[in-house]
Every structure is written in structure tokens, then in C-alpha cells.
């Protein structure tokens, strides 16, 4: 094990936002890349928002994405407890250290951190009042992603609120010290807090960790940051939308990082090997649902049929496509045909529903297109006797029999395919037709054609 220690420090809100998931993922990737330790620390000092359900959403999301933590809730560790709400005695000790060093004072019932420097009063536009300010030396942050950032804190800030609860900046820094965090990898929205944090590290006489602030994820259209209302923003929705965790994780890794070649589909072992700070982009990234869907489709196609069936079954069940008395062999044969065509699991019932249901919708556009070029009823009447009698009812034998008939009619065999497919599925596209006929079986195929002609 290396001495790299990183942490993901979420404040549970009831949602697991893709931006948080990306922060968690980057920390996890760096820990695994460096052979270090990945700590999960729950920043639950805001009591009103921190319910058990909020925590559960977060832990479930992390587990779904496969982001296992070495220390934290359930995992334990030498630097616990890992919930800030249980660390009050640690904060008291650290507060006393600042107090003894003369770096705290009380004002309006709160305890403040006293910056070092020359004090003066000035008009503060933000507070719309005269406030005491401090001339401090700028803090220099050599951010691993943003480069050199300089910022001077001008105002003292609160360590403990009037109600006795410790403030974010204070507990965040105390925990990073107490948990021996070496790299703070977090969202760019915290860059403006970092000078406060560095002032605190200095006051405790501790060398600050290395900082890496990751640029924003912008929403698909427009210029704003992705918000929880944007489609694709919540990790907890991906599973029920039919996405594979490995695909989502691969996609999120590309939001702000790239392997410096054109590749997009990378297995997790490769990402871990290649992941490092120089690969993280300085610019914002943009959420791209199409790219995510394409990656998901690639991962879906790679699953073995057992895994594919395992994932597809509950979704098909829920859509009412399959139910009791299901023929398992038929399900597997259908899914073997549909898997190469599947783009996501949640559209699978549209893609293959007609295999299971006799009442399938007829796509009118396709119907009109076929009727414009041919007389589908006449074509089907020609092939029906063949399909009634061909032996065995297998793709090869069906193909030979249809070819023989087509040749006699001076037609290419393909001339029959669109009408055939449309009659038995209501669709213009789908899996290869001949294997599809075989899987559906003679009875189903001929009954559907008869019904269509009638
Ligand atoms: N609780 C903070 C957040 O969720 C953590 C910030 C940090 O990583 O330092 O934004």
C-alpha cells in the first residue's frame, strides 16, 4: 500500500448526483491507481437534511457503481468514526488548539477564526455593511488540475455557529488532518473555499494536502451546470432506466478525463492503470446522453446470454411482456436474437415484445411503405404453403425453400422479406429474419400471417 489517502466526503441530500458520483469515481480511481486508501466520510452536520434514506441512496449508488471504500460506513477503519455527526469530541479538541493559539474569538454567539494580518474596516458589497477586513498574504494553491491559484482571505470566518454546530470549513479541514488525507479531489465549486482551508491547515501547523479541483459537468444543452432536474443527473435512476453500471461508470470516467487516445470504451482495469491528474481536463465537460447510450449498447452486446437474460427478465416482466408460464428456452432464444440489436434494456420490450405477445402494434409507416412497392397479401399468400410444410422449420431449410420458390417466380428471395417481417412483427426492422422465423416457430408464424392476410 502506498501512503496515498483520498476521501469522498458527501453531504447526503437524498440524491446521488452525477457530479458527486464523478468526484467519488475520480477519488476511487486515483486510490486504486496509486495503491492507496479510499475513505468515505459522511459530512452530515446539517441535521435536517441527513436522514437514513439520504444516506442509503448514496451508499446504494456507490455500491451499484462498484466504488468500494476501504474505510468508512460499514467498512470501519483506524480513523473513524466516519460520520461527522459522531466526531464532536475530535472537533472540541481541535477547537481548543486554535483557542490556545489565540486564533479564535466569540462574536454574536458564534466562534470565529481569526486570520493573521493587518485589520481595517471597509464597505462590503456582499454584506452591504462596514466590516472589519484583514490584509493577509495570498494563499498559493498549486492545484493538480488548475495549476497555480492565488487567493487572499479578507474576512475572518465562523468555526462554530451560534447553535453550537461546527461549520463546514472547520470540520472539513479537521477531518482531512485527522484522517491523514494526502489528496483532496473535489468539485471546482470548492476552489473558492480552499484558501480558507489552507489558512486553517497553517493555523494547525499542518502541511495542506495536495488539491485537485475537477471542472464542472455542464448540462446537455445550454451553458448551465447540470442540475438534479436534468435527465441523467441522478445515479439512482440509471438502473431502472436499463443502464449497466459498468457502462455508466465508464461514461462518467470520461466526464473530465480521457486516456489521451481516441478510445472511449475502456474496461475498468485499463482506466485504473491510465488514470492520473495530467489526464484530467481543465475545461468543463458536457453531459452527452447519446454517447452514454452508445457505450451502454456496446456493454450490453458484450454480456453473455445468461447475464443478459438475468438483467432483461425483470424489465420485460414489469413491461408486461412476459409473465407466468413463460417458456424459458423461448425467452433465451428470443433474447439471443435481440441482444445484438439492443441499445438499452428499457427499450427491449419495444424491440422484442412481439415475440411474446400476439397483439402487437403495426407500424403504419412501414405498412404504407411496403404496400406502395408490393402487394404484401399476395406475396404472403404465396409463401404461406411453404411455411406450412417446410421441414424442418429451421432457418436454413426455410431459406432454401423460399429461394426455390422465389427463383421459380423470377424474384429475388429478399422480395418476400419486408412483408413477412411486417406481418409477424408489425415492424420494419429487427433481428435477422430467418433465425427469427425459426425461433418463433411454425405455429406462431403461420397463424400471424393468416391473420394478417385476413
Ligand atoms: N461535503 C462537501 C461536499 O459535499 C465536501 C467537500 C470536499 O470534498 O471537501 O461538497
- CB of 71 shorter than 6 A to ligand 1: no
Residue 260 scores a pLDDT above 90: no
Dihedrals φ, ψ of 180, to 5°? 55, 45
Q: Output the pLDDT for position 221.
A: 87
Bond into 392 cis (ω within 30): yes
* Mutation choice for ligand 1 from 49, 186, 197, CB with most ligand atoms inside 8 A: 186
* Mutation choice for ligand 1 from 5, 6, 7, 11, CB with most ligand atoms inside 8 A: 11
- For 417, other C-beta atoms within 10 Å of its C-beta total 14
Residue 360 scores a pLDDT above 80: yes
Least confident interval from 46-50, 109-113, 125-129: 46-50
Higher confidence at residue 265 or residue 46? 265
**Pairing assessment for the beta strands 147-151 and 139-143 based on DSSP bridges:** antiparallel
Rounded to the nearest integer, the mean pLDDT of the chain is 94
Catalytic residue selected from 96, 135, 228, 231: 228
Which tens digit of pLDDT belongs to each residue from 267-297?
999 999 999 999 998 889 999 999 999 999 9
Q: What percent of the chain has pLDDT over 90?
A: 84
- CB of 190 shorter than 6 A to ligand 1: yes
Residue nearest atom 4 of ligand 1, based on CA coordinates: 10
Domain 87-214 superfamily per CATH = HUPs (3.40.50.620)
Residue 240 pLDDT class (50, 70, 90 cuts)? confident
Q: Output the pLDDT for position 446.
A: 98
Grid cell at residue 265: 470504451
Nearest ligand 1 atom to the CA of 189 is 10
Q: What CATH number labels 303-355?
A: 1.10.8
Average pLDDT over residues 68-80: 97
**Pairing assessment for the beta strands 37-40 and 139-143 based on DSSP bridges:** unpaired
Residue nearest atom 10 of ligand 1, based on CA coordinates: 10
Residue 48 scores a pLDDT above 80: no
Average pLDDT over residues 232-247: 90
Which tens digit of pLDDT belongs to each residue from 104-119?
999 999 999 999 999 9
Higher confidence at residue 114 or residue 260? 114
Q: Are 269 and 225 spatial neighbours (Cβ–Cβ below 8 Å)?
A: no
Q: Output the pLDDT for position 228.
A: 85
> Residue 49 and residue 29: Cα distance in Å, rounded?
29
> Residue 140 and residue 87: Cα distance in Å, rounded?
30
Q: Output the pLDDT for position 239.
A: 86
Average pLDDT over residues 172-191: 97
CA angle, 302 then 304 then 310, to 5°: 115
Which tens digit of pLDDT belongs to each residue from 220-239?
987 889 888 888 889 999 98
- Write the DSSP string, 177-203: HHTT--EEEEEGGGGGGHHHHHHHHHH
Third-level CATH fold of 364-453: Arc Repressor Mutant, subunit A (1.10.10)
- In the chain, residues under CATH classification 1.10.8 are 303-355
Closest CA to 45 of 93, 10, 18: 10
Q: Are 390 and 401 spatial neighbours (Cβ–Cβ below 8 Å)?
A: yes
Least confident interval from 62-76, 169-183, 204-218, 220-234: 220-234
Catalytic annotation present for 228: yes
- In the chain, residues under CATH classification 1.10.10.350 are 364-453
Residue 384 pLDDT class (50, 70, 90 cuts)? very high
- In the chain, residues under CATH classification 3.40.50.620 are 1-72+215-302, 87-214
Instruction: Domain 1-72+215-302: state its class.
Output: alpha beta
Ligand 1 mean position, distance from CA 228 (Å):
17
In 3-state terms, what secondary structure has residue 63? Answer: helix
Amino acid at each position: 500500500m502506498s501512503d496515498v489517502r483520498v476521501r469522498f466526503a458527501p453531504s447526503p441530500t437524498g440524491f446521488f448526483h452525477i457530479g458527486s458520483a464523478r468526484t467519488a469515481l475520480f477519488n476511487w480511481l486515483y486510490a486504486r491507481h496509486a495503491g492507496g486508501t479510499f475513505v468515505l466520510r459522511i459530512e452530515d452536520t446539517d441535521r435536517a437534511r441527513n436522514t437514513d434514506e439520504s444516506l442509503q441512496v448514496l451508499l446504494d449508488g456507490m455500491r451499484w457503481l462498484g466504488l468500494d471504500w476501504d474505510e468508512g460506513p460499514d467498512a470501519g477503519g483506524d480513523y473513524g468514526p466516519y460520520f461527522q455527526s459522531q466526531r464532536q469530541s475530535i472537533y472540541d479538541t481541535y477547537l481548543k488548539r486554535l483557542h490556545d493559539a489565540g486564533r479564535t474569538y466569540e462574536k454574536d454567539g458564534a466562534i470565529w477564526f481569526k486570520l493573521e494580518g493587518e485589520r481595517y474596516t471597509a464597505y462590503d458589497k456582499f454584506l452591504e455593511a462596514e466590516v472589519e477586513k484583514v490584509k493577509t498574504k495570498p494563499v498559493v494553491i498549486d492545484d493538480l488540475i488548475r495549476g497555480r491559484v492565488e487567493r487572499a482571505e479578507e474576512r475572518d470566518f465562523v468555526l462554530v455557529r451560534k447553535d453550537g454546530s461546527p461549520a463546514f470549513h472547520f470540520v472539513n479541514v479537521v477531518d482531512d488532518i485527522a484522517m491523514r488525507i494526502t489528496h483532496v479531489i473535489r468539485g471546482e465549486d470548492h476552489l473558492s473555499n480552499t484558501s480558507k482551508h489552507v489558512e486553517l491547515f497553517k493555523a494547525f501547523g499542518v502541511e495542506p494536502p495536495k488539491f485537485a479541483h475537477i471542472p464542472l459537468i455542464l448540462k446537455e444543452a445550454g451553458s448551465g451546470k447540470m442540475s438534479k432536474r436534468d435527465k441523467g443527473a441522478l445515479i439512482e435512476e440509471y438502473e431502472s432506466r436499463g443502464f449497466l453500471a459498468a457502462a455508466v461508470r465508464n461514461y462518467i470516467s470520461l466526464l473530465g478525463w480521457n486516456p489521451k487516445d481516441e478510445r472511449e470504451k475502456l474496461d475498468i482495469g485499463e482506466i485504473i492503470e491510465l488514470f492520473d491528474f495530467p489526464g484530467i481536463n481543465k475545461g468543463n465537460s458536457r453531459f452527452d446522453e447519446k454517447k452514454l447510450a452508445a457505450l451502454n449498447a456496446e456493454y450490453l452486446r458484450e454480456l453473455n446470454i445468461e447475464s443478459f437474460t438475468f438483467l432483461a427478465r425483470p424489465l420485460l416482466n414489469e413491461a408486461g411482456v412476459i409473465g407466468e408460464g413463460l417458456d424459458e428456452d423461448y425467452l433465451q432464444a428470443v433474447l439471443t436474437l435481440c441482444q445484438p440489436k439492443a441499445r438499452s434494456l428499457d427499450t427491449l420490450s419495444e424491440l422484442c415484445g412481439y415475440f411474446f405477445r400476439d397483439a402487437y402494434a403495426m407500424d403504419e409507416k412501414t405498412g404504407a411503405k411496403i404496400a406502395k412497392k408490393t402487394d404484401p397479401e399476395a406475396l404472403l399468400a404465396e409463401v404461406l404453403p411453404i411455411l406450412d410444410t417446410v421441414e424442418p422449420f429451421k432457418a436454413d431449410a426455410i431459406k432454401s425453400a423460399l429461394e426455390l420458390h422465389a427463383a421459380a417466380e423470377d424474384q429475388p428471395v429478399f422480395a418476400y422479406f419486408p412483408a413477412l417481417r411486417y406481418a409477424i412483427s408489425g415492424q420494419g426492422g429487427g433481428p435477422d429474419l430467418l433465425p427469427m422465423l425459426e425461433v418463433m416457430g411454425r405455429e406462431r408464424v403461420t397463424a400471424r400471417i393468416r391473420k394478417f392476410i385476413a
